[in-house]
Amino acid sequence: MQQNADPGAALAPSAMEALRLPAAFDATAHATAMDIDAVLSQDERQAAAFDAKVAAYRDAGLPHLLTFRGTQVFDPSRFAWPPFLYIPKGANSRDYWPFAAAPDDYRYALEWTSPATATANKASRQDGSLFSFAQLHNEAAGSAQSSESGIGIFYNPPMSLGVIDFQPSVDCSGTLRTFLQFFPLLAAGYVEVKAYLLLAAWQVIPGGFDLLGWKQFEVATSGRKDQSFGPEEQHFQQSFAGPSLSAPFVVQRGRTYLLGVVGRISIISTLTADNGGPLSAISNSQLRVWGAMNCVVPQIDVVTRRVDIP
């Protein structure tokens, strides 16, 4: 399906807010999804057994086929843009595939940041860059914080029913900072700063998006730090591609999906006063807990994992 020049222009702020992912991993829902996938995979095992049975016949026939003499027909579709490959809106498609230009609907289509108060966050479908930042609020040190930025593609399945693997390539780097130096004020509890990548699928519905599923990958963590720890600053750098960053989703022809990769910084805080009450406001010179992550997504692959109904 050919997309508009700016598919995000007509979307209301409430529609974009629907792209904010849940704050915690739903283990029950994930277990149910894996059970369903295991049942569907039975067909894959039957197909593998069938392939093994006919392998001997295929191998025996191959030498005969290789002796065939005839005219080969040129197939121009071999040089068409790969149907699994999506690239940034501003990228030079010749850097990825020298034989054909990338169609508009094989380029990144949408960018977003969340929540609205995360004004430092950046996302660009133009070059595939993401920046996410979150910090503990000094006036409410016991409250968790989270922010994210994401980019996505629109996907229209060619099969009536099947399973795809959403596989973005992502290079990440960032910093996690913990500084709790507000003695003689005493506190119980801990803080932890985490960097995540999340892969998610939404169905496009009139006026917005309906979240279908998501999968979370931990990139880095500060570990749990309480008041006994000194100032710490952790730098990290990681790259992901192919199966190392992959999520399966069930899709159907006739529906349009938004597939997105999201960078998230989360700050967990259980800090309380030593009497169990809330901490009073603490100066920024004594309490600094924050995380920042830069990511670049040079390409996204959408691989057909299984076709249940062609």
Q: Please give the average pLDDT of every successive group of 10 residues along the chain, which has 310 residues.
A: 52 70 57 55 56 53 49 68 96 94 96 92 97 89 89 97 97 93 72 96 94 96 86 94 95 97 94 77 78 97 95
Residue 302 lies in a domain: yes
| CA 293 to each of CA 101, 129, 196, 261: distance values in angstroms, whole numbers, following the listed order | 32, 11, 9, 14
Torsional sign, CA 181, 182, 183, 189: negative
Is 2 among the domain residues? no
How much is the pLDDT for 4? 47
Distance set, CA 236 to CA 169, 175, 291 (Å): 17, 6, 11
3-state secondary structure the chain: CCCCCCCCCCCCHHHHHCCCCCCCCCHHHHHHHHHHHHHHCHHHHHHHHHHHHHHHHHHHHHHHHHCCCCCCCCCHHHHCCCCCEEECCCCCHHHCCCCCCCCHHHECCEEEEECCCCCCCEEECCCCEEEEEEECCHHHCCCCEEEEEEEEEEECCCCCEEEEEEEEEEEEEEEEEEEECCCCCCEECCEEEEEEEEEEEEEEECCEEEEEEEEEEEEEECCCECCCCCCEEEEEEEEECHHHCCEEEEEECCCCEEEEEEEEEEEEECCEECCCCCCCCCCCCCEEEEEEEEEEEEEEEEEEEEEEEC
Note whether residue 4 is domain-resident.
no
Handedness of CA 153, 130, 88, 245 (dihedral sign): negative
Q: Give pLDDT, residue 68.
A: 46
Residue 261 within any structural domain of the chain = yes
Q: Tell me the residue range of the domain where 30 lies.
A: 13-309
Q: How many domains does the chain have?
A: 1
Residue 6 lies in a domain: no
Q: Which residues contact 137 (CB under 8 A, 6 or more apart)?
A: 143, 145
pLDDT at 61: 47
Work out the number of other CB atoms within 10 angstroms of the CB of residue 84.
15
Is residue 85 one of the residues assigned to a domain?
yes
